[in-house]
Amino acid sequence: MDRRSPQAPSLSIPPSRRNLRWASGLVLMAYVTAHLLNHSLGIVSFAAAETVLRGVQVFWHSLPGTLLLYSAAAVHLALAVAALWERRTLRMPALEGLRIVLGFALPLLMAAHLTAMRGAYQAYGVEGSYARVVWGLWSPPGAAAQLTMMLAAWTHGCLGMHFALRARPGYRRFSHLLLAFAVVLPLTAAMGFVSMGREFQWTGVPPAVAPTAAQGRALDAAESGIKFFYAFGLAALLVAFGMRNWLARRSHGSSVTLRYPGRTVQVPRGWSVLEASRSHGIDHLSVCGGRARCSTCRVRVRGPADHIGEPGRDEQRTLERVRAPGDVRLACQLRPHGDIEVTPLFAPPPNGGRPAPVSSFGREREVAILFVDLRRWSGLSERQWPFDLAYVLDRYFATVGAAVRESGGVPNQFIGDSVMAIFGLETDLPTACRQALRATELIGERMDAWSESFEAQFGQRLDFGMGLHAGRAAVGEVGYLDTTTFTAIGEVVNTASRLQDHSKAAASRLVVSLFAAQQAGLAHAAEQVDTLVVRGRSEPLSVICSQPATTPL
């Protein structure tokens, strides 16, 4: 499949579901934020809050403001219903579930406020006033209902914004400030509500136009009707949702088989791959909540084209943005029509990625230290999204780590784009050096095998450098309190790191010390030995530099 760079959207193309959700959510979030800020002015005085409220009502009560607000609410609710209906399972992370529950609960929580404020204005011309609202709710049950409604609306909006933006660098850079704002604003709004109520107790309630008794009964009846019909519709949706899924599970011949690495599962037709993973306890990352934004749930897919289908607009845009190859799809959007094979590209590594236990802790011994560094990482970081970089690092660390383990070493540090590995924790030094050289060969072969697809996907060559040295080091746990790391410490570590740095200047894939090569018994195969001044060492070091595409010895 040819995925070209996305073109400018045509005005004749209707907005995608993702854009509608985003736009309607922003309108509603702006409305809630303005309300909470307005409530917060009650800390200053009732007069200040009421003056701003009158100005805000001019816009929201106008025809453009009314159409904007209620269209956004209707679109947002309709998209939420459609998204719930498309689900085949309710298994999801807790925060995502909380967002959905709060969203569907909001119409019930807001029915009283909607009829008392907007309903009274539309039906009887009664303007909303803080005097009428605050004093009317000035009781523990009324205040609790008001504060619960505010908190539910604000929390739902904040979670939606968080899921949509948390992959963006700008959002993460200011996330601590945004979190502080998200916590403080509802608190100041509650304080403003309480302050106005206390002010009324001390100075008396200002005069305000209120509905008559008959009008109040009519508004109460409207509130009850809204709650009843909404609750009935929501219950009908959930019953239909459950029945549809129950029939799908019992229907013979309507299931599809998904073959994961090392596991095969069967799910009813119509399930997304992400839903299948969650239902069967398969680790599968998804940052944006299944809305085709973050691309972290992407999978490599194999199978007949008619079983896979074509990506929709939102999915296609995300795949184009990350320059995904034709065999990659988003698990949250892919609903297979038949049996396929899928490989999650962001699945956590086995055992949490931790090195296997080693018995030789806490003492000095002769070891070989290998450093591997991914080249031109800064340039790649400027052009790619953070989770695309995470995908690169995840595969890079897995490639290097597997090669080190297969050769008998322990990959013990993953820092930035560099990997440090230790050889010789359970062997003598000559064996450790031979194992380390074998690891460099495996790393070179596997990185070369990855290079072609890497260049096609990220637009630059895959390049790396390695440094290898051997000597005495202290190995054991270092750190503070519960935050400790198993590592090696000593001159050999510093020198191996410097040799890896020198591989850039030498245009070499590997720079290995002559001592390590001699220990491995392979120094006789070296064509040229260079003398290198290494920072931190008093004596120059003899080294062997490999050619870019060959093994050193």
**What value does the mean pLDDT of the chain take?**
83
Give the pLDDT score at 312: 87
List per-residue pLDDT tens for the chain, 553 residues long.
Answer: 444 444 444 445 567 788 898 899 999 999 999 999 999 999 999 999 999 999 998 999 899 999 999 999 999 999 999 988 888 888 888 888 899 999 999 999 898 888 988 888 888 888 888 988 898 888 888 889 889 999 999 999 999 998 888 767 678 778 889 999 999 999 999 999 999 999 999 998 888 888 888 998 999 999 999 999 999 999 999 999 888 878 877 765 578 999 998 889 988 888 999 989 888 888 887 877 777 877 778 898 999 999 999 998 888 888 887 777 888 899 999 999 999 999 887 644 444 444 333 333 446 788 999 999 887 766 566 666 666 677 778 888 889 999 999 998 988 888 777 899 999 888 889 999 999 999 999 999 898 888 777 777 766 777 889 999 998 887 876 665 556 677 888 888 999 998 988 888 888 889 999 999 988 887 655 557 888 787 767 678 888 887 643 444 4
Give the pLDDT score at 359: 36
Residue 146 tokens, joined: 């008001």
Distance between CA atoms of residues 314 and 511, nearest Å: 47
Taking Cα atoms as reference points, which of 372, 519, 368 lies closest to residue 441?
Answer: 372
Give the pLDDT score at 380: 63
Give the pLDDT score at 192: 95
Transcribe 27-78 into DSSP letters: HHHHHHHHHHHHHHGGGT-HHHHHHHHHHHHHHHTSHHHHHHHHHHHHHHHH
Single-letter amino acid code for the residue at 424: G
Give the pLDDT score at 525: 52
Write down the residue that tokens 């508004």 correspond to: 219
Distances, alpha carbon 536 to alpha carbons 468, 498, 533, 541, in Å: 16, 9, 9, 11
Query: What b/e sequence results for 171-192 when a residue is b if at least 16 CB atoms lie within 10 Å of its CB, and e otherwise?
Result: eeeeeeebeeebeebbebbbeb
Give the pLDDT score at 352: 42
Give the pLDDT score at 520: 87
Cβ atoms within 10 Å, residue 117: 19
Give the pLDDT score at 173: 74
